[in-house]
Amino acid sequence: MRILGIETSCDETGVAVYDEQNGLIANQLYSQIALHADYGGVVPELASRDHIRKIAPLIQAALQQAGLSAADIDGVAYTSGPGLVGALLVGATVARSLAYAWNVPALGVHHMEGHLLAPMLEENPPAFPFIALLVSGGHTQLVQVDDVGQYQLLGESIDDAAGEAFDKTAKLLGLDYPGGAALAKLAMQGKPHFTFPRPMTDRPGLDFSFSGLKTFAANTIAANPDDGQTRADIAFAFQDAVVDTLIIKCRRALKQTGLKRLVIAGGVSANTALRHGLAQLMQQLGGEVFYPQPQFCTDNGAMIAYAGFLRLKHGQTSDLAIEVRPRWNMTELPPLTSI
């Protein structure tokens, strides 16, 4: 079974082909970073238009990379939510049209389920059950994963996601878009001069809040000299606070559930400090941590092709109606056993 996966939820156009026997055999990705850089963030209308321009050439490139023709594709998976509605509609429309023309089934995939399952593309995939920390520009969630489609939300951000807080704080520091990676790079030059709060760690529960931390950073920036070392020290303190908060909540989730496997996925999972901190945590707890390679941390078609493959193989399909869900709770997804 060979599945074509299409990802257009935000500002990356991703197309990939997953083969049941050979794994990932094609992966094409186009990033819109340069397009949105002048605006300091994603402009939804521009994102949608760029997806329209790039999606057909990327599909052709993916098929060529895999050495396949349309006749070799057994199904089409596409991101149907959550995400920017215009961007989602581009991928959904193209995917549904191709599936109809090729006479194969199509399936709308949950974007965050794609991220959650991305570590399954690695040589050493995690076994179920496990705790998943999903950290990206739009989401910060702790999820207990008993199997594909068997998800229990343990905690989530009540305001800014971790990635969003990274980007906003980077902008306050005068860093170029995308800010999260730039802040992490600047933090490597910083020293532990400032101490930032660890939000919501002084109370029980597994929810997150990073909006106040961003405000604390803004006040710290305003109250100190505007020089390179000070900015680096603030970046260090901010990143240290976010990473420590995520580690504290992961420790709680693991203790609460008794599980010993932790999966980290989403754009922020590429952060070196976070990976190092969670590796230390799992070593202390006698457990294991799993994460995708950096190219599969950010949005990509490979994770959508794989997630789509699992559900299409079990008989789940979407009807001909082109429907996207900008907001979509992952716990609403059916387990594979019920399909």
Give the Cα separation of 233 and 207 in Å (integer): 27
Answer whether 130's CB lies under 8 Å from 228's CB.
Answer: no
Which residues make up each annotated binding site?
111, 115, 134-138, 167, 180, 271, 299
Give the Cα separation of 223 and 65 in Å (integer): 53
Which stretches within 103-178 are classed as H helix?
111-117, 162-172
Sign of the alpha-carbon torsion through 270, 160, 108, 154: positive
Looking at residue 161, the DSSP 8-state letter turns out to be: -
Architecture of the domain made up of 2-117+296-332: 2-Layer Sandwich (3.30)
| pTM of the shown model | 0.94
Q: What is the CATH number of domain 129-291?
A: 3.30.420.40
Which residues make up each annotated binding site for Fe cation?
111, 115, 299
* pLDDT tens by residue, the chain, 339 residues: 999 999 999 999 999 999 999 999 999 999 999 999 988 889 999 999 999 999 999 999 999 999 999 999 999 999 999 999 999 999 999 999 999 999 999 999 999 999 999 999 999 999 999 999 999 888 999 999 999 999 999 999 999 999 999 999 999 999 988 899 999 999 999 999 999 999 999 999 999 999 999 999 999 999 999 999 999 999 999 999 999 999 999 999 999 999 999 999 999 999 999 999 999 999 999 999 999 999 999 999 999 999 999 999 999 999 888 999 999 999 999 998 654
Q: Which of 149, 116, 144, 112 is nearest to 130 (CA)?
A: 144
Answer whether 91's CB lies under 8 Å from 49's CB.
Answer: no
Which residues make up each annotated binding site for substrate?
134-138, 167, 180, 271
Per CATH, 2-117+296-332 and 129-291 having the same topology is answered yes
Give the Cα separation of 3 and 211 in Å (integer): 39
Answer whether 4's CB lies under 8 Å from 17's CB.
Answer: yes
Strands 12-19 vs 2-7: parallel, antiparallel or unpaired: antiparallel
Q: Locate the domains of the chain by residue range.
A: 2-117+296-332, 129-291
